[in-house]
Chains A and B, each alone.
Chain A
């Protein structure tokens, strides 16, 4: 009894609660990024290497809109819209000519795009980290912490965006087209669905989701030109762990991995907590290469 007692005392319950909240907050943002990535992959067979850059660009555009208008919500909508248009343009210029070629070509092409976008951001904005202030500054008391309501709000907003998109996919016209194209591209085309347009639309939607998460996340960490790669790596891990192209799986995996990393950060240095997601990835590859959250391994 005494041993169990000391063991229980050794677990810092307050820290665990705080880290659970933190993990869910980052998990939802990661889910928003990863769901765009997995959407683009599931429907177009394109691994979008530039996804992190769209996320980063979204944050920068959000910053610019915020500085000019002073309205955070306008920045969120404006950045999403602009990046959606940019995504559509990129898809038409660089990815459409590659349809029908080996899918590895699209990795290379999106990698090239990511280089251009990242260096453009560095060139345009410089290496200084930019800040977008939080739109609501109130906070509530969580144990000894003043926990900002804003973080709770982003979680809810991310969930709302993902949920809204899910409903749209189920009932919206383009959503039905997207699902039909994902099921059988040739048949969809035969039924009169404009498949190239669907591809462009999907890429634009994915880009907009990345941009939205960029703006939402910016008040927490600041905007820099390197943020894209860090997050796209995490999103890739999430997508592989959740099962490539599996929409629900990647959302679950995003929260799962963020929670694990948050808990790990209680005991080790946060910069080492990244290793946890790597370990999860390796274990997944070893035992369930098709993804942890796939009902039946293909």
Chain B
């Protein structure tokens, strides 16, 4: 097993350098946050929306990194969690009036959790390639159901709804502007990052990484590998669902296209481009991918098949830069 996107390098903390590392990490974190907070004030409407969307895709990719990078299972089915999150939020916003942001998030998470439970129960029986294929097939099951169950899901047309207000009961009730929405999304994504980072560094996360390194040995030590895998899929699905909710709120619609396999494929691309097993890498990957797509569309027109050059770049990255853009910082980020 030589270098690969799934390279089995140890990311366990080798030595404790103590203060300096964590100080640098938090300074870096705050700097990036400050930049992202200030960004919408300096960007035009289009790029503001673009940045918000990149953050949402980044959250989706980050959730799948927990599986790919830390547990060593490639999921080609994240569109199911994302889409169920979207449709869950849509359901809450359409059924309950007045539309409530937190209820939308709750419904979305519930939807994603349901899908994740289904996938977790069946797919975690299988390893490696088999897992990847079955997640793909399961996501297609959800796609077929959503696409054909027109009475509930709106079928091909999807569901359209109004964006809920930002509410804190009895205190705040304001309409989202694109700037405040950006800040809200940023808060959720940054919070998710910190939670996921904490999870991967917890004893639970260590077990996941040991499954990635050597599954039979982890089992031999006495860990219930299947249970850990299921937990990992569930957790990953929840954060993917959260991304779906955010996307639904930003764009005010839920469409079956996002449950389709292409979303899952994009998620995997973001991970590989940005660098798996880093959590922030996938966000960078999402930014890189979306920016490249946008620029190609601007230079060569909307009809330009941007996935041809990006697909070639993707294959080249797998062969020549298997750690991704942020691969060089992988050990440091996980410390």
The answer to whether B5 and A103 have CB atoms under 8 Å apart is no
A-contact 0/1 string along B180-213, CB 8 Å cutoff = 0000000000000000000000000000000000
CB distance from A249 to the nearest CB of B (A): 15
Cβ contact within 8 Å between A105 and B133: no
A107 in contact with B137 (CB, 8 Å): no
Contact indicator A286/B137 (Cβ below 8 Å): no
User: With A94-B319, A108-B318 in contact, do A103 and B308 touch (Cβ < 8 Å)?
Assistant: no
Please indicate the chain B residues that have their CB under 8 angstroms from the CB of A105 in the complex: 4-6, 318, 322
Report the separation of the CA atoms of residues A227 and B47 in the bound assembly, to the nearest whole angstrom: 35
Chain A hits for B122, CB < 8 A? 282, 285-286
- Tell me the minimal C-beta distance from B20 to chain A in angstroms: 34
A276-292 vs B, Cβ < 8 Å mask (1 yes, 0 no) = 00100110011001000
Cβ proximity bits A209-238 to B, threshold 8 Å, 1 near / 0 not: 000000000000000000001000100110
A274 within 8 A of B: yes
Q: Report whether A115 and B318 are in contact in the complex, using a CB–CB cutoff of 8 Å.
A: no
The docked-state distance in angstroms from the alpha carbon of A100 to that of B76 is: 23
Which of A104, A118, A269 is within 8 Å of B132, CB to CB? Answer: A104
- Which candidate, A2-10, A21-29, A58-66, A119-127, is the interface stretch facing chain B? A119-127
Q: From DSSP, what is the main secondary structure of chain A's interface residues?
A: helix
Residue B268, interface by CB 8 Å = yes
Contact of A104 among B2, B74, B126, B144 (CB under 8 A): B74
Asked whether any CB of chain B lies closer than 8 Å to the CB of A116, the reply is yes
CA distance A269 to B148 in the complex (A): 10
Q: How far is the CB of A119 from chain B (nearest CB, A)?
A: 4
Asked whether A115 lies within 8 Å of B133 as measured between CB atoms, the reply is no
Docked pose: A264 CA to B2 CA in angstroms: 47
Report yes or no: A119 in contact with B128, Cβ–Cβ below 8 A.
no
Q: Which of B261-310 contact A (CB under 8 A)?
A: 261, 265, 268-269, 272, 305, 307-308, 310
The reply to whether B144 and A275 contact each other, CB–CB distance below 8 Å, is: yes
Alpha-carbon separation in the docked complex, A244 to B126 (Å)? 12
Name the distance in Å between B259's Cβ and chain A's nearest Cβ: 14
Most buried by A among B132, B310, B311, B312: B311
| Complex Cα–Cα for A236 and B3 (A) | 28
Query: Which residue of chain A lies nearest to B126 when distances are taken between CB atoms in the complex?
Result: A289
A120 contacts which of B5, B265, B308, B318 (Cβ < 8 Å)? B308
The reply to whether B319 and A98 form a contact with Cβ atoms under 8 Å apart is yes
Residues of A within 8 A of B76 (CB): 111
Contact size range, B: 35 or more
B223 contacts the other chain (CB 8 A): no
Whether a CB of chain A sits under 8 angstroms from the CB of B245 is no
Q: Could you say which of A107, A118, A269 has the most chain B C-beta atoms within 10 Å of its C-beta?
A: A107
C-alpha gap A233/B312 in the complex (Å): 23
Judge whether A101 is part of the interface by a CB distance below 8 angstroms. yes
* Interface of chain B residues 119 through 162 with chain A (CB within 8 A): 122-123, 125-126, 128-130, 132-134, 136-137, 140-141, 144, 148
Question: CA separation between A282 and B269, bound complex, in Å?
Answer: 27
Q: Report how far A244 CA is from B128 CA in the complex, Å.
A: 12
Q: List A contacts of B307 (CB < 8 A).
A: 115-116, 118-119
Are B268 and A111 in touch, CB under 8 angstroms? yes
Confirm or deny: B247 has a beta carbon within 8 angstroms of a beta carbon on chain A. no
Residues of B within 8 A of A272 (CB): 144, 148
Contact call B1/A289, Cβ cutoff below 8 A: no
A-to-B contact residues, CB < 8 Å: 41, 47, 94, 97-98, 100-105, 107-109, 111-113, 115-116, 118-120, 122-123, 229, 233, 236-237, 240, 244, 269, 271-272, 274-275, 278, 281-282, 285-286, 289
A-B interface, 7 closest residue pairs, ranked by CB to CB distance from nearest: A116-B311, A115-B311, A112-B315, A123-B305, A112-B314, A119-B307, A119-B305
Query: Which residues in B have some Cβ–Cβ distance to A below 8 Å?
Result: 1-8, 74, 76, 122-123, 125-126, 128-130, 132-134, 136-137, 140-141, 144, 148, 261, 265, 268-269, 272, 305, 307-308, 310-312, 314-315, 318-319, 322
Q: A104-B6, A104-B128, A272-B148 are in contact. List 12 more A-B contacts (CB 8 A).
A: A94-B315, A98-B319, A101-B2, A103-B128, A108-B5, A109-B319, A111-B268, A112-B315, A113-B315, A119-B305, A233-B137, A285-B123
